[in-house]
Amino acid sequence: MEGVNVFRLTEKRFQGKTGSGEGQQKRRRKQKEAQPTEEPTLPWEEVIDFHNLEANSHSNRSLIIEQDVHPDADNLAPRMTKIYTLADAPGFAFIPNPFTFDEQLHWADRCVREYSASGVDVELKTINLENGANDLRLVVDFLVHQLESGKDFGHIQAYINIVLKAHGEVMVEQEHLQNDLKRLREAQRQSWARLESLFHHNLCLVAYFQNIQT
């Protein structure tokens, strides 16, 4: 067959029977999408719960060793009464509520100061919203405390901006978070009022000294 490309004819017959390679890929994608996907289940039975010991599996419960805080440790009592260790992990100790609220705020402040800006951004955007969004409420407590302390106004504004952009809708929709949102708004209002008063005071001083010079 002069002038006829035998390869092209064969290719057309093959495509007519099986479809083009692109068509096959589309069919495979549709078949894959149609198949139900099962989410991987996490082995929660392996997680040790120190806050509710009875919720642990029998094997995990047998590993937990309870120890009373030494009575001479006055700086730890009464907020700390128990220390937990694990039989198969020498040197490990879990101490419930080791810090007071003020101490927690201190370490949170130190962490955000020493952490990179990108790291803080990621952490604030990925706050765990499970368990009643308790982690988000703790972040709001920290932000309110920092606003009331009058420290790092610029940094705190950046953190508030990230939190509200990422989680503002959740805070508005969930009724138990609305009070936290109101507390944050009030702390923000008072903090800005103090800063605005300082601005006005400084502007008055500048104007006063300018008049003296003239």
Do 139 and 177 touch, CB atoms closer than 8 A? no
pLDDT at 46: 81
Do 85 and 65 touch, CB atoms closer than 8 A? yes
pTM for this predicted structure: 0.58
Beta bridge mates, 66 = 84
What residue spans define the domains of the chain?
Answer: 45-98, 101-212
Kindly report which listed range (4-18, 48-62, 141-155, 164-178) carries the lowest average pLDDT score: 4-18
User: What SS3 state is found at 68?
Assistant: strand
Would you say residue 68 has pLDDT above 70? yes
Q: How confident is the model at residue 98 (pLDDT cuts 50, 70, 90)?
A: confident
pLDDT at 150: 85
pLDDT at 87: 92
**Range 59-68 average pLDDT:** 89
Q: Which amino acid is at 132?
A: G
pLDDT digits (tens, 9 = 90+) for 102-157: 888 888 888 888 889 899 999 999 998 887 788 999 999 999 999 998 888 888 99
pLDDT at 208: 83
